[in-house]
Amino acid sequence: MNILVTGGAGFVGSHVVEHFSRKGYEIIAFDNLKRGEILEKDLSLEHNVKFLKDLSKVSFVRGDIRDFSLLKEVCRDVDVIIHTAAQVAVTTSLKNPRKDFEINALGTFNVLEAARLNDCVVIYCSTNKVYGNNVNKIPIVERETRYEFADDKYRRGIPENFPIDLCEHTPYGSSKLCADIYVQDYSYVYGLKTGVFRMSCIYGERQFGVEDQGWVTWFIIATLLDKPITIYGDGKQVRDILYVKDLVRAFDLFLKSNLKQEVFNIGGGPENTLSLLELLDLLEDVTGKRNRVKYDNWRVGDQKVYISDITKVKEKLWWEIKIKPREGITRMIEWVGANSKLFKSNF
């Protein structure tokens, strides 16, 4: 099986490439290496590119999903496209909604057209932001360090059939939702096997988290490098977090399954949640360090509580979480510490 991974040098993409390379598949890692430019940060993915070059059966193509001609050519002998490439930050989408749309919506359309022409399986990395501000309409209870859903209906989290209409999404949420629906439709209309994974907070090695995106990793980097941390809101906002290798195993299970078209919410679920304040406490417990923290206004589109209902993905794919937050975060602390020079040059 030949696999194309868009965004192959990125965080999730590089783990997808690694996973399937170690299984002996032929992999094309396709990436424009513009994460820093898109986020307007001094970031480089060269570390990840070097990592990929040490893997077997991996070829790297520098390209952009907005370039349909190149994408179509690269997909000629491909069986599976795992589409991780994206504009990933709400803040960036607010500043430049056109670029956000072109990357997330049009870029995904190009991927789907390339897949249609070559009859490829498509796995799409969607987001919990497709549910938009409807999530904030659920009543919540304020506790000492976190918010919680007050409605027992959501004790397992947000299900896949949660409403997506009649609310604000931000340009990022809108572009990702547009692509999400297109991926589903290419299964219904053209018969492609497609899997949509609406991801909650994914974290792990090779993630260059910044204040605008990748908050778990950003808090770890900031703590170890003595960088100030800004919390937008009060820090009691809660997310379910998932270690990246557990996510990639779900992709693998979907490819092996007989499922034709599915949408999955995927994250840590209700048993693997943290508020921002609780992550700071955990980092202090593990590292003995507590960084300077300042507070600012809530950000547009922020959900006070988002927890994925992962019942469906567990039942349909026989998937389970293997790495709990404390173990995963400890691994991340070790990785960031071992690559401190890299982070000092990038931040």
Q: Which residues are catalytic?
A: 172
Q: Residue 207 class from Cβ within 10 Å (0-12 exposed, 13-18 middle, 19+ buried)?
A: buried
Q: What is the 3-state secondary structure (H, E, C) of 95-116?
A: HCHHHHHHHHHHHHHHHHHHHH
Element (H, E) at 297: none
Q: What residue type is 179 in one-letter code?
A: A
Q: Residue 54 class from Cβ within 10 Å (0-12 exposed, 13-18 middle, 19+ buried)?
A: exposed
What is the dihedral angle through the alpha carbons of 41, 44, 48, 53, rounded to the nearest 10 degrees?
150
> How many Å apart are CA 154 and CA 111, to the nearest integer?
34
Beta pairing partners, 32? none
> How many Å apart are CA 345 and CA 169, to the nearest integer?
34
CA dist 152 → 138, 193, 230 (Å)? 10, 35, 32
Backbone angles phi, psi at 58, to 5 degrees: -120, 125
> How many Å apart are CA 183 and CA 109, to the nearest integer?
8
Where b means 16+ CB within 10 Å and e means fewer, 145-163 reads ebbbbeeeebebbbebebe
- Residue 313's CB is within 10 A of a number of other CB atoms, namely 26
CA dist 80 → 3, 50, 116, 123, 194 (Å)? 5, 24, 11, 8, 10
